Amino acid sequence: MSHKRIPKRRAAIAAGGVAALGAAAILLPNANASQDGGSSDAAAAPRTLKAADASDLASRLAGMLGDAFAGSYYDSGDQQLVVNVVAGDDNQVVVEAKKAGADVREVENSMGELRGGATTLRSKAAVPGTSWAIDPRTNKILVTADSTVTGEKWDRLESTVQGLGSGMATLKKSAGTFRTFASGGDAIFGGGARCSLGFNVTAGDGAPAFLTAGHCGVAAEQWSDAQGGQPIGTVDQAVFPGEGDFALVRYDDPATEAPSEVNLGDQTVPIAQAADATVGQQVFRMGSTTGLADGQVLGLDATVNYPEGTVTGLIQTDVCAEPGDSGGSLFTQDGQAIGLTSGGSGDCTAGGETFFQPVTTALEAVGATLGGGAGDQAGGEEAGGGDAVGGGEEAGGEGAGGEEAGGDAGAGDGSGTGEQGVGTGEDGVGDGMGAGGEAGSDLTG
């Protein structure tokens, strides 16, 4: 069966400068490092966990602890899940959480109180240039104001935070300006806009498609992989602003093979599955402007008040991004899709706050799944169960390196390790669309 091969855009995707080199140094050499641990002889001691396992445990404990659960975060240094519980008469909840392998600490603010505080902020202080997210490490709401929040707007925000009561929220000032990370330039184009492609997916009817930022999806209906080129995809659904920032773009050619992977320029990361973010988790972002960058998750269920409107349900991180990175992939070392770049402040020189649309929420909303074409083999359960980057036969097996998936050059026979296993050739698996065609526009002003 014939299929459309989208050419690699290696120069644009690999142009990450120091940020890309620094993140790659973390991402690639440690890909096979085991984080498993823990002893059966110490059932009540905190377990050593991978970040993905910590996220699963956090979800289970949230249901088990009920109202006593006050959030959780991943301690990447000790590789442990820290769970907050509200002190009460029933100490059994603490015992059960410890038995499950979490490091338990008692805190003052319940999740109900913190969410109530966020609701108050939404009703009284939702001015452009502000954001807030629950920070389980401090057991407070982290409220941030950008450089445009001054005068009466700052007074309003400050008084609202103070009105929440002592110990409920912290307020900080950002030097930058909150904006969606869209910009003009080379990559995937739509009516003068440019964004980074997030993840290739399969639409509900089995058609090949990809996810990107919603503010890109509302900027243009059709997208091309070259400036002035023929469209390759048409927007099917887009949400922005409101309850998210995501769009589903269908490939116009139904024979397009769209593997779920992230192209780092010199190799690809097979994406095995979508996963929820965990505060404290190390994550990597790939974007067309700045390439590869890494950082940590700082908060969940973040609300951001962009100039275009309020967006809720985002992930807050300290990963840098710049205009043109919008829609780009946020993922983990072991090949889990976490988010789509939405916006924030700062850049990859000064740093700043960056927000991402959770992939799990986007997939559910548009009715799509990860995987498609050759990528089902490259990014399947075996590749994601281990460490997908630089792996051996499991991560870079025949599905990722065979002729059908990778063409004649550079993909290898699938039995190698590292770069050979996942394909690095000019015509290899990661054909430029796995991590970031880019598209940006004058959306942000």
- Give the active site residues: 215, 245, 326
Distance of CA 98 to the CA centre of its chain: 29
- Sign of the four-CA dihedral 255, 259, 265, 268: negative
DSSP 8: P
How far apart CA 145 and CA 154 sit, in angstroms, is 8
Whether 215 and 233 have beta carbons less than 8 Å apart is answered as: no
Instruction: State the angle between helix axes of 92-99 and 51-65 in degrees (0 to 180), rounded to the nearest 10.
Output: 160
Q: Are 200 and 341 in contact (CB under 8 A)?
A: no
Q: Which structure tokens are listed for 184?
A: 């003009």
The string of DSSP letters for 239-291 reads: E-SBS--EEEEEESSTT-----EEE-SSSEEE--EE----TT-EEEEEETTTE
Q: Can you list the positions of beta strands (E) in 52-184? A: 69-75, 80-86, 103-107, 130-135, 140-145, 169-173, 179-180
Look at strands 309-317 and 291-306 and give their pairing: antiparallel
Indicate the SS3 state at residue 1: coil
